[in-house]
A and B are shown apart, each in its own frame.
Chain A
């Protein structure tokens, strides 16, 4: 999957009206909370067979980091 396809999926997981960019810092997004992290974990598990943990996700800094974790190409 390419990054430009992942971005709207990530935006949807965050339930966010405003656009999301690869350079956005997760900590600056009010939607990036524990429920969003759990939704992200479930999405990666279902769609990428990738079993992330909560600490894995808390360590991420930017949207690009999320994509990189799933080996999503820029």
Chain B
């Protein structure tokens, strides 16, 4: 699927979908820059990945300074070469009824779910930082961007903004042969889902389970689509937001 010269940045690689995507892209032949906040978790990737010489852990807190993200991407390019792909998987979820909506909370959600991915994309799409024709970007959005459940208003709004930004970006960079797509997963068994269950109780899962004829997803289900969208096999796909919801 990839070659060693294909450098792919995966954010949120310390757990969940990001971790699965980093491992899969590495197994599929790419050189992977695995970024995340949890240094110890990132370093374990080197022990379990298919090709440790093609996996580089880069601990980084994406929200520490959003304005610095393009500079960070530029620094990665200097050290690893021009980027062939980026899978932006870092994220966090919010469970907050609209009665509790506030600009402060929304700003936090937008920082992580919208500003961080789009600022990283700004760095990635800089002509100096990517390989041009064939380069590809994948954002992990959320099913909540299309159809938020109760208490997903803030999260869904931030992810919907990401989807709109990604769609615009896809048109801006299409002329240079760069593709931009989103994946909007439903419930996926990751630490983020565990946090949601912790907040909302097991009843939440019991209510949701019948809505997923194919069951809840796992991180690898999403990683396979992310790797496909990053690869040349998806060369004619751009500007799309692919719902991934197990038949829901």
Contacts and interface: CB of A to CB of B under 8 A. Distances in A.
A16 B172 contact: no
Interface string B161-185: 0000000000010010000000000
Interface in A1-37: 15-17, 31, 33, 35
Main secondary structure of the interface of A (DSSP, over half): loop
B126 A15 contact: yes
Interface string B103-127: 0000000000000000000000011
B128 interface: yes
A31 B172 contact: no
B172 A35 contact: yes
B128 A15 contact: yes
A17 B172 contact: no
B131 to A, nearest CB: 13
B124 to A, nearest CB: 11
Contacts of A16: 127-128
A28 B126 CA distance: 19
Interface residues of B, number: 5
Contacts of B172: 35
A20 to B, nearest CB: 13
B183 to A, nearest CB: 26
Contacts of A31: 127
A33 B174 CA distance: 13
Nearest to B127: A15
Q: Report which residue of B126, B127, B172 has the largest number of chain A beta carbons within 10 angstroms of its beta carbon.
A: B127
Contacts of B127: 15-17, 31
A58 B127 CA distance: 21
Interface string B224-241: 000000000000000000
A31 B128 CA distance: 11
A1 to B, nearest CB: 21
A54 to B, nearest CB: 16
A33 B128 CA distance: 16
B228 to A, nearest CB: 28
A17 B98 CA distance: 47
Contacts of B175: 33
Interface string B208-247: 0000000000000000000000000000000000000000
Nearest to A11: B128
A15 B130 CA distance: 11
A33 B176 CA distance: 11
10 contacts: A15-B126, A15-B127, A15-B128, A16-B127, A16-B128, A17-B127, A17-B128, A31-B127, A33-B175, A35-B172
Interface of A: 15-17, 31, 33, 35
Nearest first, the 9 closest Cβ-Cβ pairs linking A and B are: A15-B127, A15-B126, A17-B128, A15-B128, A35-B172, A31-B127, A16-B127, A16-B128, A17-B127
